[in-house]
Structures are given as structure tokens and as C-alpha cells.
């Protein structure tokens, strides 16, 4: 069967440095939605999912064997290397290239400059359908809303396309476009359970300065699927594919309280047995809601803690109070739902004192799991415009490293990395002894001095003494073997 369009997911699990220890593949939901929309519109579509392929060359051979007139490639800032290769190879074969996805929506000119013929800006379903129809008929594309391209050596950006108001019209993503069972089997082999991903809403009404989600591709407009529509997809994943874990990938899962309650009731009424996790904000939960979520299978909630210092939360435009966050996190733990907190360190304005506030907050909350990230400026965010980069920011994303300071700062990278080690050690001690212990107090006092030395750039301290103190501490920390 001749194709009208080949969709390409340029993510290779094998080459992801963060997947070395345990493989955790997630389905390309955006392409699955677009693929379904195109198929229902009468187009002949396949999806080249590179997730489980062994090489870029293997993917290129598939493209060459299919020779579609058009390819549609999704973009992500960390995948630029592979997107660039697929653009170049497709153009050599005479294939028209469409790029979509988060990074392309933020920086369409970048991808046209790389050789793409068209960039879909924003939601992709309607725009890709109209654009593909025009291309296959050799018609002018100037009336297609939501695209960016180059014509007569000039960049052209058409008017934005309105957001889809009713997500139920899209239904569930077409998982027959990929090997869904392969995803299940990899999760089972590496984790002992099978996890799939579901998106129940689009957009985020908040505007955190470090986050690109409110900008592209869905913007700050928040739309959501009905509880019944989501439950239909869950039923398919559990009963047809055999998944027993679900990750709800919404930016703020509980933002619509009534819809969340309705979804939990749908899960219970249908007798769907699976565990699930989600991401939300501490000011978007309450005791009644959390109890119902737990009853419906919620086992873990991911919270963006970011910082325990109010001044840092304000600088990030988090629209969150530390006390509200404390209440929400402790309430979640009390009800018996595990919490994972994301902590962002090194944001402009970070100081020795704000780091210690975050440490104290973490030791008070004692999250079940937590992860640290040194602030990284994503294109299109206010943080990106605020900082002065050390090097070309695009080159840094070729091999992503979440704990590398990419911009010039008064807070040295060494101080941030040391703080992360210090926090991990002190939390481990607090967990072991349940409350503040002599060992924790000794570690706290000695490492506070090191952190203060590292965060100071005044030249006041003897750096040979500083380095000796740090060296002695690191030897002790290694001996303790706390991770």
C-alpha cells in the first residue's frame, strides 16, 4: 500500500543516557493522536517508531523502503541531532518534510533553517491534515493556519490555529500504529510491572518562568477530556494490552477537581484494577480528593517542590506559598500516597541561605522519592531570556545533562552539586534515625561550612584549606555509601 505520510518518532531508547540502568519507554502520544486523526480523514499513514531500533541507519532503511511523499517528524530539544539527520536524509530522497512538536512550535525558524519544508506550530491534528491535503494535491498552502515555512527566501508564518475546544472529538490515541506490546514487555522485564502513558488534558494555566509547557504547543489554555472518554482508553490499556500501571502525563492532573472525582468514580465503577501516578500542585489537592484518588488506585503523586525558600518560588513565578506546599505534601503522605518531589536548584538569585531553607524543608517533609535538577533555561521561557549562556545553548542539548549549569551565575556549579550530595546524605540520616541525630548534626555543621565556602566568591577564604576540607568530606561520604 502506497503511503500518503510517514510519521517519525526520532527517539532511540538505546542511545538515551538516562535509560542506561533501567529502561522506561514512553509512547509517542502526540504522533499517535495525529496518526489517528489522519487515518480517520482518509489518509494512508504509518508511524516509524525509533524507540526500539538499534541505529539511525536502520531507520533510514525503513524510510527508503517506504518512500513516502511526506514525512512528519516530531521535535524535542534533546532530539535535535536525530531530527537533523532525518531531515537531511529525507530531503536527499526528495521527500517533503513537516516538523511538529514542542521545540518546533517554540522555534520554527530553526527547523526550517535545518532544511524542513514546513513547521506545524501548536496543536498538530487539524493543521497537519489540512497541510497534507494541500501538499498531496500540489495546492498553495498559504491559507493553512498554524504553519511556518520559507518562500522566495522569506520566512512565512500563517495566522495561529485556534485550539481544539472538545478533546473528546479526538478520542484515544491509535496505539495500533506502534508495537504497544513491546512497550509493555520492556517495562515488565526491567521493572516487574507494565506502565503505559495517558494524557487526559492539554495546556497549563500557570506561567512558571522555567517551564516551556505553558508556551508550546498547547499554551496556557487548559482543555480536558471527559472522565468517560479517559476511562474508555484506560479500559483498553488494562483489558486489551495488559498494563497494570498508568502514568497520567498531564501538567497538572487535578486542576479540575470535579473532573478528577468523576474519573476516579469511573475507574471504580468499571472495576479497573491498576495502580497509577500523576503530577500536580500542592495547592490543587485536598483531603477528600486525595482519599478518593487513593481508593481509585493512585499510589504516587509527583509534586514540583522546586524550592523551600519563598523568595525563590516568587522569583520562579510559581504562584505558590511554602506553607501551602507543606500542607499539601504532608496531607498526601498522611493519606498513604507516596510523594516524589522535584527540586530545582541554581535558579538566578539562589544563595547559601535559600539552599539551606530547601534542605530544611526536605528534611521536614521527607519525601518518599525526590530528584534534583540544576536550573536549565529552555528556549521560549523567561529564564532563557534572563540568563547569559556560557556556550551555545543548542550544543548543550545534544547530550543532555540535567545537572550541568549552562549559564553564568554567582552560584558555582560545584556548590550546587555539593548541596545535592549534602541533602541526600542528611535525608538518609534523618530516615535512618527518624529524628535529628548526633551523626546528622555533625554532618550538618561540617557540610554547612563547605557549602558556605563554595557559594562564596569573595576570595575571603583560603582555597587550599577549602579544598582540603572538601576532600576529607568526600572521602567520608564515600565511606558512608549513602546515595
Domain assignments of the chain as residue spans, ordered by start: 5-157, 412-483
- Rounded distance, CA 321 to CA 313, Å? 8
Give every CB contact of residue 338 below 8 A, 6+ residues apart in sequence.
299, 300, 301, 368, 369
Q: What was the pLDDT predicted at 331?
A: 99
- Rounded distance, CA 271 to CA 274, Å? 10
Q: What was the pLDDT predicted at 460?
A: 45
- Helix, strand, coil tally for the chain in percent (to 5): 45, 15, 35
Q: What was the pLDDT predicted at 393?
A: 63
Question: What is the DSSP pairing of strand 338-345 with strand 298-306?
Answer: parallel
- Count how many residues are written for the chain: 483
Q: In the sheet where 298-306 sits, what is the strand order?
A: 195-198, 245-248, 275-280, 298-306, 338-345, 369-374
Closest CA to 482 of 443, 440, 425: 425
Cell 521561557 locates to 381
User: 5-157 belongs to which CATH class?
Assistant: alpha beta
Q: What was the pLDDT predicted at 421?
A: 93
- Print pLDDT tens along the chain (483 aa): 699 999 999 999 999 988 877 899 999 999 999 999 999 999 999 999 999 999 999 999 999 999 999 999 999 988 999 999 999 999 999 999 999 998 999 999 999 999 999 999 999 999 999 999 999 999 999 999 999 999 999 999 999 999 999 999 999 999 999 999 999 999 999 999 999 999 999 999 999 999 987 555 666 789 999 999 999 999 999 999 999 999 999 999 999 999 999 999 999 999 999 999 999 999 999 999 999 999 999 999 999 999 999 999 999 999 999 999 999 999 999 999 999 999 999 999 999 999 999 999 999 999 999 999 999 898 888 999 999 887 666 665 555 556 788 898 989 999 999 999 999 999 998 888 877 777 777 777 778 888 888 887 544 444 555 555 556 555 555 555 444
Other CB atoms within a 10 A radius of the CB of residue 5 amount to 26
Please check whether residue 46 is in contact with residue 3, taking contact to mean a CB–CB distance below 8 angstroms.
Answer: yes
Q: What was the pLDDT predicted at 451?
A: 86
- Rounded distance, CA 418 to CA 481, Å? 15
Amino acid at each position: 500500500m502506497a503511503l500518503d505520510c510517514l510519521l517519525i518518532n526520532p527517539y532511540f531508547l538505546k542511545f538515551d543516557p538516562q535509560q542506561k540502568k533501567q529502561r522506561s519507554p514512553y509512547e509517542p502520544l502526540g504522533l499517535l493522536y495525529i496518526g489517528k486523526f489522519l487515518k480517520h480523514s482518509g489518509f494512508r499513514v504509518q508511524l516509524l517508531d525509533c524507540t526500539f531500533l538499534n541505529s539511525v541507519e536502520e531507520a533510514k532503511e525503513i524510510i527508503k523502503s517506504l518512500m513516502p511523499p511526506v514525512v512528519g517528524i516530531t521535535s524535542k530539544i534533546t532530539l535535535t541531532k536525530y531530527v537533523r539527520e532525518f531531515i537531511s536524509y529525507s530531503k536527499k530522497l526528495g521527500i517533503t518534510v513537516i516538523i511538529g512538536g514542542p521545540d518546533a512550535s517554540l522555534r520554527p525558524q530553526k527547523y526550517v533553517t535545518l532544511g524542513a519544508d514546513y513547521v506545524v506550530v501548536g496543536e498538530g491534528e487539524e493543521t497537519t491534515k489540512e497541510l497534507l491535503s494541500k501538499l498531496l494535491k500540489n495546492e498553495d498552502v498559504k491559507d493553512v493556519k498554524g504553519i511556518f515555512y520559507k518562500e522566495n527566501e522569506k520566512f512565512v508564518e500563517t495566522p495561529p490555529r485556534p485550539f481544539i475546544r472538545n478533546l473528546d472529538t479526538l478520542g484515544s490515541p491509535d496505539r495500533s500504529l506502534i508495537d504497544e506490546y513491546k512497550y509493555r514487555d520492556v517495562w515488565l522485564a526491567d521493572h516487574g510491572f507494565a506502565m503505559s502513558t495517558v494524557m487526559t488534558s492539554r495546556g497549563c494555566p500557570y506561567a512558571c518562568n522555567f517551564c516551556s509547557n505553558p508556551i508550546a504547543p498547547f499554551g496556557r489554555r487548559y482543555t480536558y477530556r471527559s472522565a468517560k472518554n479517559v476511562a474508555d482508553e484506560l479500559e483498553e490499556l488494562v483489558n486489551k494490552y495488559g498494563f497494570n500501571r498508568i502514568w497520567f502525563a498531564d501538567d497538572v492532573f487535578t486542576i479540575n477537581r470535579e473532573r478528577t472525582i468523576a474519573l476516579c468514580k469511573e475507574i471504580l465503577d468499571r472495576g479497573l484494577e491498576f495502580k497509577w501516578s500523576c503530577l500536580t500542585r500542592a495547592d490543587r489537592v485536598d483531603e477528600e480528593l486525595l482519599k478518593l484518588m487513593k481508593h481509585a488506585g493512585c499510589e504516587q503523586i509527583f509534586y514540583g517542590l522546586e524550592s523551600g525558600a519563598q523568595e525563590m518560588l516568587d522569583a520562579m513565578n510559581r504562584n505558590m506559598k511554602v506553607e501551602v506546599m507543606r500542607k499539601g505534601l504532608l496531607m498526601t503522605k498522611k493519606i498513604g500516597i507516596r510523594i516524589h518531589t522535584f527540586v530545582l536548584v541554581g535558579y538566578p538569585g539562589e544563595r547559601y541561605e535559600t539552599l539551606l531553607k530547601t534542605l530544611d524543608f526536605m528534611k521536614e517533609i521527607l519525601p518518599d522519592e525526590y530528584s534534583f535538577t540544576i536550573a536549565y533555561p529552555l528556549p521560549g521561557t523567561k529564564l532563557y531570556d534572563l540568563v547569559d549562556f556560557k556556550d551555545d545553548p543548542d550544543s548543550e542539548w545534544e547530550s543532555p545533562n540535567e545537572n550541568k549549569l549552562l549559564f553564568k551565575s554567582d552560584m558555582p556549579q560545584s556548590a550546587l552539586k555539593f548541596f545535592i550530595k549534602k541533602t541526600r546524605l542528611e535525608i538518609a540520616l534523618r530516615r535512618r534515625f527518624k529524628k535529628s541525630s548526633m551523626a546528622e548534626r555533625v554532618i550538618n555543621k561540617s557540610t554547612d561550612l563547605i557549602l558556605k565556602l563554595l557559594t562564596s566568591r569573595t576570595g575571603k577564604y583560603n582555597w587550599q584549606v577549602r579544598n582540603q576540607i572538601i576532600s576529607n568530606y568526600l572521602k567520608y561520604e564515600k565511606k558512608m555509601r549513602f546515595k
